[in-house]
Amino acid sequence: METIFKDKKVLVIDDFPEMRSSLRRMLDSFGVESCDDVDSGERAIEKMEEKAYDIVLCDYNLGLDRKDGQQVLEEAKHRELLPYHVIFMMITAENTMAMVMGAVEYKPDDYLTKPFTKEVLHTRLKRLLERKTHMVGLEQAIHNKEYRKAIAICDSHLASKPKNIMELLKVKGGLCIKAGDFELAVKTYEQVLGVRDLPWARMGLGKSAYYENRFEDAKKTFEGLIEQNKTNIEAYDWLAKVLVKLDQPEVAQEVLAKAVKLSPNAIRRMNQLGELAHENNDLDTAKKSYKKAIQLGKHSCLKGPEHFTGLAKVLVEQDNTDEALEVAQATRKEFKGNTDADLQASVMEGVIYTQRHEEDKAKEAIGKANKIYEENKGEVSASVTMDMAKVNFAVGDEEHGKDLVQDLVRDHHEDDKLLKEVEAVLENSSLKDEGKEIIEQTKKEIIDINNKGVYLVKEGKMEEAISFLEQAADGLPNNKTINLNAVQAMLLYMERNGKDDSYIKKSRQFLDRVAKTDPASEKYQRLAAVYQGIIAA
């Protein structure tokens, strides 16, 4: 008997005992010596926390009102329970999986459609194990976010004209986009399209166009893909993104609604539809979408308090404060011990009681929120901060309101759309007359810091510039410009003087901060590419 399966630890997840034992017998005949089986996704996650597996076989359908296979995969990846060498195989009852799960964030290594024979399972697992061994260097580089290195590994594999040439080109194209090298991405995808008109290559061209701000080109590409295949969910998602950039939010909403109809189980997309509809003042659609997102999130690690906040805000706008209060309470219940949820629930209550003119209760709620905010500075989202400012002004707490507004300006001093919103908040507050000045002054404070850093760089005082910008960035962890300029100074220094471990670490940290909020920004992509070049050198 072959020995490749002998030392592999396998986890089987299926709610049917017959299926579990049948799979176990198959694995047993392959020579697997260590195999566990569980009947639910919840148990599976626990098992994966206890033990490191090499192969996970998971049935998609794990019973009504339970986590399904996709949710198990999402949570396991999310919690980093599946290192790159682990094989996750999804077993499905029908062959429409690609469509149902279209454009989900996490994909299994393989789908296996029931019914299958022992031999099929054996062939597929063996092939996957070989492929993983073959790709281990590549996956490790990707895992470490060393995209340039990963691209180089792709190229060296490609040079030997392997069987999986298209797969490698696909990976390479994706890596080019991640590394911010859109020119190389376009070249790679065009190389593929020269051989064959493959949808994923055209998707790649569309994404590259999007990141290069060629929105009309991107729009045409995604529209073409949808025309060719009406179920290309990913193309709908991207078309909606492009339409938002082209300032056509209503059309974007229509597109996203179509995607949701085709693939109704993706929480993130459902929430996006809610947000877009909310912005478009289509409150009924917004309400429905947020509710659906909450319902879908019930067993998922992707559930978030923002879905509840979104729903509560719509309800307030519809003057249904009773239900909005219920939603706020449900948030606390659903996310016990989660500070962010606690904060959002308190802010919501502040908003609701303000609407109801119950000032004492509003004061109490926002007081609680202010306290949580202070303890978690730098980690609260802009939209929550904005709501907090509004409530503070409404209950007459001018001081807190002003602090919050200034924090917003400091974090986003170059984001004109957000600054306009801040201006509107001040316009409706007791600080109406000073509103513009508060914004301008705070903006100037940040611009001065930034200018000083840039000036020091220009003067060639690199070390001084770096230490100044580094300190500024740590004080303003959400300010994109300052963080990126700090990175730029460090990268410039290393280009001249060679690698420096502490600068590499700091650059990565600052880049990651920006990646969380705006990975698509041109400057981020450019610096990330330079960073990749330096660490690969």
Partner 1 sequence: MDFKESEGGHQQADFTTILVSTIHDVKNSLGLVLHTLDEVMEVCTPQECKVHDRFAKLHYEAKRVSNDLVRLLSLYKIGNQQLLCNISDYSVADFLEDCQAQNKPLLQMNGISVETECADDLLWYFDTELLAGVVNTVINNALRYTQDRLKLVAREENGFLRLSVEDDGDGYPDALLHGDADAKGGVSFQTGSTGLGLYFASVVARMHENQGRQGYITTQNGGSYGGGRFSIYIP
Q: Interface with partner 1 includes 160 (CB under 8 A)?
A: no
Backbone angles phi, psi at 112, to 5 degrees: -125, 125
User: Angle 82-85-87 (CA atoms, 0-180°, nearest 5)?
Assistant: 70
Nearest to 60 by CA among 49, 82, 46, 44: 44
Q: Can you tell me the distance from the alpha carbon of 186 to that of 208, in angstroms, rounded to the nearest whole number?
A: 7
Q: Can you tell me the distance from the alpha carbon of 524 to that of 529, in angstroms, rounded to the nearest whole number?
A: 9
Task: Work out how close the CB of 321 gets to partner 1 at its nearest, in angstroms, rounded to a whole number.
Answer: 14
Query: Which range of residues in 7-15, 194-202, 240-248, 462-470 is near partner 1 by CB under 8 A?
Result: 194-202
Contact with partner 1 (CB under 8 A) among 80, 163, 261, 360: 163
Contact with partner 1 (CB under 8 A) among 7, 28, 183, 326: 326
Q: Interface with partner 1 includes 261 (CB under 8 A)?
A: no
The residue (of 192 and 484) whose beta carbon lies closer to partner 1 is 192
Contact with partner 1 (CB under 8 A) among 96, 144, 441, 451: 96
Write out the two tokens for 275.
């947000």
Task: Work out how close the CB of 350 gets to partner 1 at its nearest, in angstroms, rounded to a whole number.
Answer: 20
Q: Can you tell me the distance from the alpha carbon of 354 to that of 503, in angstroms, rounded to the nearest whole number?
A: 48
Q: Interface with partner 1 includes 22 (CB under 8 A)?
A: yes
Task: Work out how close the CB of 291 gets to partner 1 at its nearest, in angstroms, rounded to a whole number.
Answer: 5
The residue (of 132 and 523) whose beta carbon lies closer to partner 1 is 132
Q: Interface with partner 1 includes 117 (CB under 8 A)?
A: yes
Q: Interface with partner 1 includes 323 (CB under 8 A)?
A: yes
The residue (of 59 and 275) whose beta carbon lies closer to partner 1 is 59
Strand positions, DSSP E, 422-527: none
Number of Cα atoms under 13 Å in the Cβ half of residue 356:
20
Task: Work out how close the CB of 294 gets to partner 1 at its nearest, in angstroms, rounded to a whole number.
Answer: 5
- Cis link prior to 115 (omega < 30° from 0)? yes
Q: Interface with partner 1 includes 330 (CB under 8 A)?
A: yes
Task: Work out how close the CB of 531 gets to partner 1 at its nearest, in angstroms, rounded to a whole number.
Answer: 33
Contact with partner 1 (CB under 8 A) among 47, 78, 107, 124: 124
Query: Which range of residues in 252-260, 321-329, 396-404, 492-500 is near partner 1 by CB under 8 A?
Result: 321-329
Task: Work out how close the CB of 199 gets to partner 1 at its nearest, in angstroms, rounded to a whole number.
Answer: 8
How many residues make contact with partner 1 (CB under 8 A)? 45
Contact predicate 246/218, CB 8 Å: no
Write out the two tokens for 478.
């959400």
Q: Interface with partner 1 includes 132 (CB under 8 A)?
A: no
Indicate the helix (H) or strand (E) that contains 90.
strand 87-92
Query: Which range of residues in 112-120, 240-248, 263-271, 430-438 is near partner 1 by CB under 8 A?
Result: 112-120
Number of helices (H), then strands (E), in the chain: 26, 5
Q: Can you tell me the distance from the alpha carbon of 206 to that of 393, in angstroms, rounded to the nearest whole number?
A: 44
Q: Interface with partner 1 includes 257 (CB under 8 A)?
A: no
Task: Work out how close the CB of 262 gets to partner 1 at its nearest, in angstroms, rounded to a whole number.
Answer: 10
Terminal-residue alpha carbon distance, the chain: 45
Q: 3-class SS at 100? A: helix
Contact predicate 118/22, CB 8 Å: no
Write out the two tokens for 61.
């359908």
The residue (of 140 and 320) whose beta carbon lies closer to partner 1 is 320
Q: Interface with partner 1 includes 375 (CB under 8 A)?
A: no
The residue (of 93 and 520) whose beta carbon lies closer to partner 1 is 93
Q: Can you tell me the distance from the alpha carbon of 223 to that of 435, in angstroms, rounded to the nearest whole number?
A: 43
Contact with partner 1 (CB under 8 A) among 7, 17, 25, 79: 25
Q: Interface with partner 1 includes 193 (CB under 8 A)?
A: no
Contact with partner 1 (CB under 8 A) among 24, 66, 77, 288: 288
Considering only residues 195 through 254, tell me which ones interact with partner 1, judged by CB under 8 A: 196-200, 229-231
Contact predicate 529/488, CB 8 Å: no
Contact predicate 252/244, CB 8 Å: yes
Q: Interface with partner 1 includes 376 (CB under 8 A)?
A: no
The residue (of 164 and 338) whose beta carbon lies closer to partner 1 is 164
Q: Can you tell me the distance from the alpha carbon of 91 to that of 166, in angstroms, rounded to the nearest whole number?
A: 25
Write out the two tokens for 37.
């089986």
Task: Work out how close the CB of 450 gets to partner 1 at its nearest, in angstroms, rounded to a whole number.
Answer: 45
Contact with partner 1 (CB under 8 A) among 7, 46, 52, 123: 123
The residue (of 52 and 99) whose beta carbon lies closer to partner 1 is 99
Write out the two tokens for 146.
């060393």
Considering only residues 467 through 526, tell me which ones interact with partner 1, judged by CB under 8 A: none
Strand partners, 56: 11, 88
Query: Which range of residues in 287-295, 394-402, 457-465, 485-493 is near partner 1 by CB under 8 A?
Result: 287-295
Q: Can you tell me the distance from the alpha carbon of 390 to that of 25, in angstroms, rounded to the nearest whole number?
A: 63
Q: Interface with partner 1 includes 292 (CB under 8 A)?
A: yes
CA distances from residue 179 to 146, 185, 186, 480, 511 in whole angstroms, order as listed: 9, 10, 13, 18, 12
Q: Interface with partner 1 includes 120 (CB under 8 A)?
A: yes
The torsion of the CA quartet 76, 80, 83, 86, rounded to 10 degrees, works out to 0
The torsion of the CA quartet 462, 466, 467, 470, rounded to 10 degrees, works out to 170
Number of Cα atoms under 13 Å in the Cβ half of residue 281:
0
Task: Work out how close the CB of 364 gets to partner 1 at its nearest, in angstroms, rounded to a whole number.
Answer: 23
Per CB under 8 A, residues contacting partner 1 are 18-19, 22, 25, 93-96, 98-99, 113-120, 122-124, 127, 161, 163-167, 196-200, 229-231, 288, 291-292, 294-295, 323, 326-327, 330
